[in-house]
Amino acid sequence: MKSREIHLTQHFTGPVKPDYFEMTEVDLPDPGEGEIQVKNAWLSVDPYMRGRMIGIKTYVDPFRIGAPMEGGAVGQVIKSNADGFAEGDWVMSMNGWREGWTGSAAGITKLDANLLPLEAYLGVAGLTGMTAYIGIKRMIELKEGETLWMSAAAGAVGSAGVQFAKAMGAHVIATAGGAEKTAFCSEIGADAVVDYKAVDDLAGAVREAAKPFGGVDTYFENVGGDHLQAALDVIKPFGRIAACGMIARYNDDTPLPGPTNLTQIVAKKLTIRGFIAPDHFDIYESFVSDLSSWMMAGKVKTRDTVFEGIDKTPEAFMGLFTGQNIGKMLVKL
């Protein structure tokens, strides 16, 4: 099988440009002992990938130049030389940004194509959903009746989190940019929605929106910058903040200064916890159990933004930073 794949041409800071990616075609070898050959059907692009393009080790190694990029991918086994994997099996791997791959079956997860739509394994039922779940459940420890401010609430993690928080009996204030996104936030059950692009005073608008619910107890940080400043301003004493991303900051050419009101951390006795999902796989069973019951009760809707074709993968990825996606950003092959 031939496979087209996307390579990174250089490490960089600042905005992502199309030049930084190139597509090449390779011949996939037949699978050796313990290996499988997989044809990918769905690829995930995620904000965290930006960190691996800088060339500095953060929580994972940088992407290598001249090697295929990596990322979540759902595909179907074409040839198998590994116990437990048969032709036609659906699997999830980190071998994304490519049409297919031959490699070890170790660590590859088999998927049940009857249980959920395949692409959901990259979204609400995958790392994206787990990230929202961990943030709300383990970092924030959200309680019934409390109020959560979800930033980037129409995004992949945000829209999952809004619905999980509602299912847990909390009030949710959602912020998002533009009419289509705010409408989506209402549709998935946010109690109040603020269009951050339409207000001058984000803190004031969120404070007002949260008034009927007794104010903002907790904040889910996906954005950084002015959103974090507003959150520190608005949040009530003893507030808890979970931070799994600060997308507004990832493409800065030079690092920009942070909020001017960090002393609120002391004054309000806040807790801020940064996290990434892979450190919390021990929560997986609890996640699957909660998610299943919420889905069966019709409490979780999903929506994806889909680009088609391997060549569109860089465009899909770049779209994350200009707010092109509602729900999960995916590439369909």
Nearer to its own copies, 31 or 259 (CB): 259
| Least Å from the CB of residue 16 to its own copies | 16
* 228-249 as b/e: b if 16+ CB within 10 A: bbbbbbbbeeebbbbbbbbbbe
In terms of C-beta density within 10 A (0-12 exposed, 13-18 middle, 19 or more buried), how is residue 113 classed? middle
CB of 258 or CB of 319, closer to its own copies: 258
b (16+ CB within 10 A) / e for 1-21: bebbbbbbeeebeeebeeebb
Q: Smallest gap, in angstroms, from Cβ of residue 238 to its own copies?
A: 8
Main-chain phi, psi angles of 13, to 5 degrees: -115, 170
CB nearer to its own copies: pick between 102 and 264: 264
Tell me how crowded residue 191 is: count the other CB atoms within 10 A of its CB: 20
Q: How far is the CB of 268 from its own copies (least distance, A)?
A: 7
270 vs 333, beta carbon nearer its own copies: 270
Q: Which is nearer to its own copies, 89 or 221 (CB)?
A: 221
Closest approach of its own copies to the CB of residue 146, in Å: 18
In the complex, least distance from residue 77 CB atom to its own copies, rounded to whole angstroms: 34
Q: What are phi and psi of 102, to 5 degrees?
A: -120, 130
Tell me the three-class secondary structure of 117-174, residue by residue: CHHHHHCCCCHHHHHHHHHHHHHCCCCCCCEEEECCCCEHHHHHHHHHHHHCCCEEEE
Which residues bind to its own copies, rule: CB under 8 A?
A: 51, 58-59, 224, 228, 237, 243-246, 249-250, 255-276, 279
Smallest CA-to-CA distance from 183 within 212, 209, 214, 159 is with 159
Q: Which is nearer to its own copies, 116 or 243 (CB)?
A: 243
- Give Cα 22 distance to the centre of its chain: 24
What's the min distance (Å) between Cβ of 49 and its own copies?
A: 13
d(CA 307, CA 168): 33
Question: C-alpha 104: how far from its chain's center?
Answer: 26
> Whose Cβ is closer to its own copies: residue 55's or residue 178's?
55
CB of 13 to its own copies, least distance (A): 12
